[in-house]
């Protein structure tokens, strides 16, 4: 399926970047800028963090490309969790469409979750449900403030669900 979503030039650029990333140390100050200049992808960048850059594929999907070794692990982890997590809670995870070494394509969900007490409680309950299913749902709650990480969750209107869009740090226990 990836051949219909990414061009061969995109895949070559990503592969080249990931190989460079694995061979060389980049400090956090410049790795995103270096990744951008190495990748030269034509997609709009809609987000970035310490570990990954997110591009809008303009077809209801996003491409996440690693900018750190942990980002490579997070992309792999999201793909594996989505593929193997056999629980109704999987419906709360952004759908993985395709992936490869250092990159992943997922459904794009735009709608922010309203930051109110009701939704705060829903996120806390969702985290507890994941724990009961053997999954540490890290990175949806800030460990120090105990508040939801609103940037890592979205609201999917078609099924009225809170969706986790960044579950790379999730871990089985």
pLDDT, mean of residues 95-120: 97
User: According to the model, what pLDDT value does residue 30 have?
Assistant: 81
Among residues 107, 133, 160, which one ends one of the domains?
A: 107
Residue 2 has pLDDT above 60, yes or no: no
Contact 34, 24 (CB under 8 A): no
Q: What percent of the chain has pLDDT over 70?
A: 97
Domain total in the chain:
2
Domain that holds residue 8: 2-107
25 vs 139, which has greater pLDDT? 139
45 & 121 share domain: no
133 & 88 share domain: no
User: According to the model, what pLDDT value does residue 10 have?
Assistant: 96
* CATH assignment at residue 57: 3.30.200.20
User: According to the model, what pLDDT value does residue 112 have?
Assistant: 96
Mean pLDDT score of the chain = 93
Contact 106, 66 (CB under 8 A): no
Residue 121 has pLDDT above 60, yes or no: yes
Dihedral-angle region of residue 84 (phi above 0 means left; psi in -120 to 50 means alpha; beta otherwise): alpha
User: According to the model, what pLDDT value does residue 105 have?
Assistant: 98
Residue 112 lies in a domain: no
Q: What values do phi and psi take at 169, rounded to 5?
A: -80, -5
36-83 residue pLDDT tens: 999 999 999 999 988 999 999 999 999 999 999 999 999 999 999 999
Residue-wise over 68-77: b if at least 16 C-beta within 10 A, else e? beebbebbbb
19 & 89 share domain: yes
Of 4-8, 99-103, 162-166, which gets the smallest average pLDDT? 4-8
Among residues 107, 132, 163, which one ends one of the domains?
A: 107
127-156 residue pLDDT tens: 999 999 999 998 899 989 999 999 999 999
pLDDT, mean of residues 84-94: 92
90 & 140 share domain: no
93 & 166 share domain: no
């Amino acid at each position: 399926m990836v051949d219909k979503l990414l061009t061969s030039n995109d895949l070559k650029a990503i592969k080249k970047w990931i190989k460079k990333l694995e061979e060389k140390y980049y400090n956090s100050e410049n790795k995103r800028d270096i990744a951008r200049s190495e990748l030269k992808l034509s997609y709009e960048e809609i987000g970035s963090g310490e570990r990954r850059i997110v591009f809008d594929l303009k077809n209801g999907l996003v491409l996440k490309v690693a900018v750190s070794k942990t980002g490579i692990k997070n992309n792999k982890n999201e793909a594996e969790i989505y593929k193997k997590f056999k629980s109704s809670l999987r419906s709360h995870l952004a759908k993985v469409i395709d992936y490869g070494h250092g990159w992943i394509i997922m459904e794009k969900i735009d709608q922010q979750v309203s930051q109110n007490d009701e939704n705060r409680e829903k996120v806390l309950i969702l985290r507890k449900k994941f724990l009961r299913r053997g999954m540490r749902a890290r990175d949806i709650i800030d460990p120090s403030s105990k508040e939801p990480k609103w940037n890592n969750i979205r609201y999917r209107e078609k099924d009225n669900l809170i969706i986790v869009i960044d579950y790379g740090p999730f871990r089985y226990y």
